[in-house]
Amino acid sequence: MTMISANCPTTANTTALPRASLLTGLNNAIALWRQRRALKSLDSAALCDIGVTRAEAEAEAKRPVWDAPQNWKG
């Protein structure tokens, strides 16, 4: 008789991973929202220092939190 061995993750592991991923995603969204809010509040001299116009800062601040550049999602 042949024994079949399955390497299945335990129930504890499958429930822990989505929660950690969800919390990470939520933390990233909050951080992005704060960064965009801070960018919007910079004065003209600070925006000039980083090479961003007022219009670009306003446009970035209006973007939704799920609209993050692909390289930030890695």
- Name which residue leads in pLDDT, 13 or 57: 57
Tens-place pLDDT, residues 3-52: 565 565 555 555 556 677 889 888 988 999 999 999 999 999 999 999 99
For residue 70, what pLDDT band results from cuts at 50, 70 and 90? Answer: confident
| Lookup result for tokens 């209006």 | 62
Task: Note the pLDDT of residue 44.
Answer: 95
In total, the chain counts a number of residues equal to 74
Could you say which DSSP state residue 71 is in? G
Distance of alpha carbon 39 from its chain centroid, rounded?
A: 16
**Structure token pair of residue 48:** 């000039």
Could you say which DSSP state residue 74 is in? -
pLDDT at 66 > cutoff 80? yes
Can you give the pTM of this predicted structure? 0.65
